[in-house]
Structure 1
Amino acid sequence: MKKILVIAALAGAAALPGPALPAAFDFNGSFAQDNDVVRFDFNLGLPGAVTLFTSSWLGGGFDPILTLWDGGGNQILEQDDGSLGGALVSNGVTYNYGEFDSYINMNLAAGNYIATLTQYDNFSVSTLLADGFLRDTDPVFTAAFACSNGRFCEGSLFDSNNNPVEPNRTAAWDVHILNVDSASVNSVPEPPTWMLLSLSGLFLLIGHCSRASTAKPVSREVSV
């Protein structure tokens, strides 16, 4: 189960009704599996420059990917490694981000938007959020990167300066969304229907073959 902590503060408080002031929202938590997906919904009342970034890599967290979608789930941008690193202030706190953190800064029209957080290399299958992600059916896909932990493994062994990178990462993540009117963690997207149906059919086939290969009677105990 994911643990999620949310801190949000308005950039100033208004006693009288009026347009919401831009706000900064800070979220953090941890993945349970390599292929977890966290979804964030945010809103802009007026057009403006919006910044989304992660700051968990420098603390040992996994290699994150941020993907930005419009309110209908159409992809705007998918971003893995954002820059060579830096620092930004959110709600009065300075957050450092590293080369393998994700960083997005874009001018967006007023409206509703979605951001998703995944672990490298769990990229989106297509430009539609409903189609899911490459690793939806593989909860320990980073084991292929061969770190001793067996999950949350880093796929890049060296950074851009040719310095070695620690392959064993943690499940921790930190996401910051700046200059928006509201932001929240929403439900995690489910794998697309066609994928679930395919898996269901595979399990049924395996079960049928197993029953056909043995003549021993089978007893089942069912608890309600």
Structure 2
Amino acid sequence: MKKILAIAVLAGAATLPVPALSAAFDFNGSFAQDNDVVRFDFSLGLPGAVTLFTSSWLGGGFDPILTLWDGGGNQILEQDDGSLGGALVSNGVTYNYGEFDSYINLNLAAGNYIATLTQYDNFSVSGILADGFLRDTDPVFTAAFGCSNGRFCEGSLVDSNNNPVEPNRTNAWDVHFLNVDSASVNSVPEPPTWMLLGLSGLFFLGGRLPKACSSAGKSVSTAVFV
């Protein structure tokens, strides 16, 4: 009788829900226009530390911005230059990231989240994803920064060693998610018409928003949500 009971208990335990194991997800692609936006949806079955980072800057890619949103499209944080550079392993591959890559490391509660990728200085208009981004009406906004390519331009920028960076960037991007349960690429909703009209007037004269400070003075952004 004891042996039969033990088998019955094990069979019952096997039917209990088991939290998904955290994993790593790597995505890469290219922008067609300066103001493209790539949206990623990801989820956590349990609270934990999550890392999101880009690794395309060192290979010549454009200056990326990662913005993190909750599942309802409310902004949690927006990150331009998040680290002085380093290396992380994802799915057995070591990815190097530079000081102008975007790097986010934070603790999140279990749930669904959204991340968006844009090119500097295409920041979000507000704390609501549906409101869109600053450069939604200008597909070649980086031409005003200055470079011979006429798009994907970095302009006059120096690194933490005071060395000028190459102003002609490529349209390539690489984004990595560490310690999440799932991640996928999805489309971004179009901003409302009234927002597009307002932004058109705001950026009619072009120009670049100055970076807040040198990357040498920035630290990795860390936040805790419970």
Q: TM-score with structure 1 length normalisation? A: 0.79
1:24-103 matches, within 5 Å, as 24-103=24-103
2:108 aligned partner: 108
Q: In the alignment, residue 29 of structure 2 is paired with which amino acid?
A: G
Deviations 1:27-80 (A, max 9, x none): 000000000000000000000000000000000000000000000100000000
1:127-146 matches, within 5 Å, as 127-146=127-146
Q: Distance in 2 between matches of 1:26 and 1:42?
A: 12
Q: Distance in 2 between matches of 1:66 and 1:167?
A: 21
Question: Percent of pairs identical after alignment?
Answer: 93
Structure-2 change in CA distance of 1:155 and 1:191 (3 Å): farther
Q: Distance in 2 between matches of 1:94 and 1:134?
A: 33
Q: How far 1:155 sits from its partner (Å)?
A: 3.9
Q: How far 1:82 sits from its partner (Å)?
A: 1.0
2:51–2:179 Cα contact (<8 Å) kept: yes
2:146–2:156 Cα contact (<8 Å) kept: no
Structure-2 change in CA distance of 1:76 and 1:60 (3 Å): same
Corresponding position: 1:186 with 2:186: yes
Q: How far 1:190 sits from its partner (Å)?
A: 1.5
Structure-2 change in CA distance of 1:195 and 1:153 (3 Å): same
Structure 1 segments, 4+ long, off by >3 Å, are none
Q: Distance in 2 between matches of 1:155 and 1:174?
A: 21
Q: Distance in 1 between matches of 2:83 and 2:152?
A: 21
1:201-220 matches, within 5 Å, as none
Q: How far 1:142 sits from its partner (Å)?
A: 0.1
Q: Distance in 1 between matches of 2:69 and 2:155?
A: 25
Q: In the alignment, residue 191 of structure 1 is paired with which amino acid?
A: P
Q: How far 1:180 sits from its partner (Å)?
A: 0.5
Gaps of 5+ in 1: 1-14, 200-224
Q: How far 1:156 sits from its partner (Å)?
A: 4.6
Q: In the alignment, residue 46 of structure 2 is paired with which amino acid?
A: L
2:131–2:195 Cα contact (<8 Å) kept: no
Structure-2 change in CA distance of 1:156 and 1:41 (3 Å): farther
Q: Distance in 1 between matches of 2:159 and 2:103?
A: 17
Q: In the alignment, residue 131 of structure 2 is paired with which amino acid?
A: D
1:65–1:79 Cα contact (<8 Å) kept: yes
Q: In the alignment, residue 94 of structure 1 is paired with which amino acid?
A: T
Q: In the alignment, residue 18 of structure 2 is paired with which amino acid?
A: G
1:122 aligned partner: 122
Q: Distance in 1 between matches of 2:157 and 2:194?
A: 35
Q: Distance in 1 between matches of 2:54 and 2:43?
A: 19
Q: In the alignment, residue 154 of structure 2 is paired with which amino acid?
A: E
Q: Distance in 2 between matches of 1:25 and 1:156?
A: 33
1:207 aligned partner: none
Pairwise CA RMSD of aligned residues?
1.7
Q: Distance in 1 between matches of 2:193 and 2:76?
A: 23
Using the TM superposition, name which of 50-59 and 154-163 deviates more: 154-163
Q: Distance in 2 between matches of 1:136 and 1:191?
A: 8
Q: TM-score with structure 2 length normalisation? A: 0.78
Deviations 1:178-207 (A, max 9, x none): 1000000011331323245x49xxxxxxxx
Gaps of 5+ in 2: 1-13, 199-226
